[in-house]
């Protein structure tokens, strides 16, 4: 019997990349390949790259070289956004056999198997030509308790700093039927939470007549077994009062929204070509807090955008503090070749970016703890995701439990583990529970803040 070939995957970047990697895994699996860990010796390495920042480019190059070093005889395929934007650079990296752009991933098995027989190793379409949504169906996510469901690709906004429209092309929405069928498949595999992802999620369906984002969520909402629907990153200017009202009437929709901010300074937002003001953003947040109980917000904030003065930074800092985010991803501006902002005057020095980044991160930690404190003493539902520590192997009473059945849910300390999970509004929780609870929804009483999580006690359901 012929031994099956082995393929390993390395994924950088966003949830869309995670979903696409799972789709490529299924293609290889159906072709008879064995999926192995990324650090094992394989016949094929697929590196799903990122180019959103210069660090994304750097990591993509590093991991392509690492894949080649793991097995110099293996086929190494650079796929995704770095491959799309910088195909010539990717092709020059030692050991790279294939460069596969966006909307060509569905052909990856064919291209890998033909790699030795063809001279051409670059398969990248111009982004202008990316008109059709690329289907990469996913059946399940091994080792995950949440399923990422890609529903949309592309972006038409062209923010002045952003490379993504050049990497992903124009808006393309997935068919409603295909999305619902995949969600049903996830439910059949035991997933209780699906995360809707896309490059510009709020644009779903806007390029054609048919269902929009609200209609899509309503259809998934009908599926038995799906208990939670979480949304990926949203653009605030697309959140109309009507859409927010729709959200408020869907109990399965998680009351957590990642509203991309980028800056809280009006002048900076204008130079970024973001199509809203801080006042617009504040109005949307206020309406959502009014209509959706226990809602929380996470965001992205950039520091050091060209021309950002100390006054601009302070305006952005103060605005973020006013909103009170649960989580804030802070990143330093990095010029992306081909974007307007790369040629803007007033490029900010690295040391200034670093200082501003540290201040924003300190604020992010402070705001996170303030949100945590609001929920201490509350009973919340948590999907247990994974073990974070070894269970008690001695048979002694666990010191966090002290044999209290009300606190631990059972008295079988041999099988207890520290596990982590998320509330519906995205508060990360650690709880002492049984291994058989992984993937299940449990009720937890939130007790104390432990770093970036809240320690809770399992309640009897």
Q: Which two tokens stand for residue 443?
A: 């009720």
pLDDT of residue 408 exceeding 90: no
Indicate if 119 and 173 belong to the same structural domain: no
Q: Which two tokens stand for residue 137?
A: 């169906």
Indicate if 355 and 439 belong to the same structural domain: no
* Domain end (from 323, 357, 374): 374
| Band (210; pLDDT cuts 50, 70, 90) | confident
| Band (101; pLDDT cuts 50, 70, 90) | very high
Indicate if 175 and 265 belong to the same structural domain: yes
The answer as to whether 303 is a domain residue is: yes
Mean pLDDT throughout 398-406? Answer: 34
* Domain end (from 374, 399, 428): 374
For residue 361, report the phi and psi dihedrals to the nearest 5 degrees.
-65, -40
Indicate if 362 and 451 belong to the same structural domain: no
Domain of residue 403 covers 379-458
Report pLDDT for 414: 58
Indicate if 169 and 244 belong to the same structural domain: yes
Mean pLDDT throughout 304-308? Answer: 98
The answer as to whether 140 is a domain residue is: no
Q: What pLDDT digit, counting tens, does each position of 28-63 carry?
A: 999 999 999 999 999 999 999 999 999 999 999 999
Indicate if 262 and 327 belong to the same structural domain: yes
| Band (95; pLDDT cuts 50, 70, 90) | very high
What radius of gyration, in Å, describes the C-alpha atoms of the chain? 23
Indicate if 271 and 179 belong to the same structural domain: yes
The answer as to whether 131 is a domain residue is: no
Indicate if 195 and 328 belong to the same structural domain: yes
Q: Tell me how far apart the alpha carbons of residues 270 and 27 are, in angstroms, rounded to a whole number.
A: 43
Indicate if 109 and 205 belong to the same structural domain: no
pLDDT of residue 341 exceeding 90: yes
How many structural domains compose the chain?
A: 3
Q: Three-class SS of residue 9? A: strand
pLDDT of residue 215 exceeding 60: yes
The answer as to whether 364 is a domain residue is: yes
pLDDT of residue 400 exceeding 60: no
* Domain end (from 374, 401, 416): 374
Q: What pLDDT digit, counting tens, does each position of 105-161 carry?
A: 999 999 999 887 777 789 998 888 888 899 999 988 887 889 999 999 999 999 999
> What average pLDDT does the chain have?
92
Cα angle value 309/315/319 (rounded, 5°):
150
| Band (22; pLDDT cuts 50, 70, 90) | very high
The answer as to whether 137 is a domain residue is: no
Q: Which two tokens stand for residue 120?
A: 């051409």
Indicate if 255 and 362 belong to the same structural domain: yes
Indicate if 361 and 402 belong to the same structural domain: no
The answer as to whether 179 is a domain residue is: yes
Indicate if 334 and 368 belong to the same structural domain: yes
The answer as to whether 34 is a domain residue is: yes
- Do the beta carbons of residue 284 and residue 239 sit within 8 Å? yes
| CATH code at position 43 | 3.40.50.2300
Q: What pLDDT digit, counting tens, does each position of 229-277 carry?
A: 999 999 999 999 999 999 999 999 999 999 999 999 999 999 999 999 9
The answer as to whether 326 is a domain residue is: yes
| CATH code at position 251 | 3.80.30.20
């Amino acid at each position: 019997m012929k031994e099956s070939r082995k393929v390993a995957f390395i994924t950088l970047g966003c949830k869309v990349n995670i979903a696409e990697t799972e789709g490529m895994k299924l293609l290889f699996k159906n072709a008879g390949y064995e999926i192995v860990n990324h650090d094992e010796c394989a016949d094929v390495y697929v590196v799903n790259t990122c180019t959103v920042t210069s660090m994304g480019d750097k990591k993509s190059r590093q991991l392509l070289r690492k894949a080649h070093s793991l097995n110099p005889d293996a086929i190494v395929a650079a796929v995704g956004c770095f491959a799309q934007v910088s195909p010539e650079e990717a092709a020059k990296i030692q050991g790279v056999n294939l460069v596969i752009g966006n909307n060509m991933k569905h052909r990856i098995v064919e291209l890998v198997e033909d790699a030795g027989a063809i001279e051409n190793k670059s398969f990248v379409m111009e982004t202008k030509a990316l008109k059709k949504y690329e289907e990469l169906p996913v059946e399940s996510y091994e080792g995950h308790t949440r399923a990422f469901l890609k529903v949309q690709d592309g972006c038409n906004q062209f923010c002045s700093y952003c490379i993504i429209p050049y990497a992903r092309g124009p808006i393309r929405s997935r068919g409603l039927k295909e999305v619902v069928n995949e969600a049903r498949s996830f439910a059949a595999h035991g997933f209780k939470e699906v995360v809707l992802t896309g490059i510009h999620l709020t644009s779903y369906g806007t390029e054609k007549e048919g269902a929009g984002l609200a209609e899509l969520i309503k259809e998934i909402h009908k599926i038995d077994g799906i208990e939670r629907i979480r949304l990926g990153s949203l653009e605030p200017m697309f959140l109309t009062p009507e859409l927010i009202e729709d959200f408020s009437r869907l109990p399965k929709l998680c009351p957590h929204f990642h509203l991309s901010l980028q800056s809280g300074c009006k002048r900076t937002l204008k130079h970024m070509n973001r199509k809203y003001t801080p006042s617009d953003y504040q109005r949307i947040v206020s309406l959502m807090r009014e209509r959706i109980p226990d809602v929380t917000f996470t965001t992205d904030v950039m520091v050091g955008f060209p021309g950002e003065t100390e006054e601009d930074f302070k305006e952005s800092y103060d605005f973020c503090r006013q909103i009170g985010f649960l989580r804030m991803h802070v990143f330093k501006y990095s010029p992306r070749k081909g974007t307007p902002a790369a040629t803007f005057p007033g490029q900010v020095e690295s040391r200034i970016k670093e200082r501003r980044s540290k201040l924003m991160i300190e604020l992010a930690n402070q705001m996170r703890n303030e949100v945590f404190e609001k929920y201490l003493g509350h009973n919340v539902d948590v999907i247990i995701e994974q073990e974070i520590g070894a269970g008690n192997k001695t048979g002694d009473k666990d010191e966090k439990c002290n044999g209290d059945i009300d606190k631990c849910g059972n008295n079988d300390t041999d099988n207890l583990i520290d596990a982590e999970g998320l509330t519906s509004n995205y508060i990360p929780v650690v709880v002492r529970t049984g291994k058989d609870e992984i993937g299940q929804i449990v009720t937890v009483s939130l007790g104390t803040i432990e770093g970036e999580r809240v320690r809770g006690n399992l309640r009897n359901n």
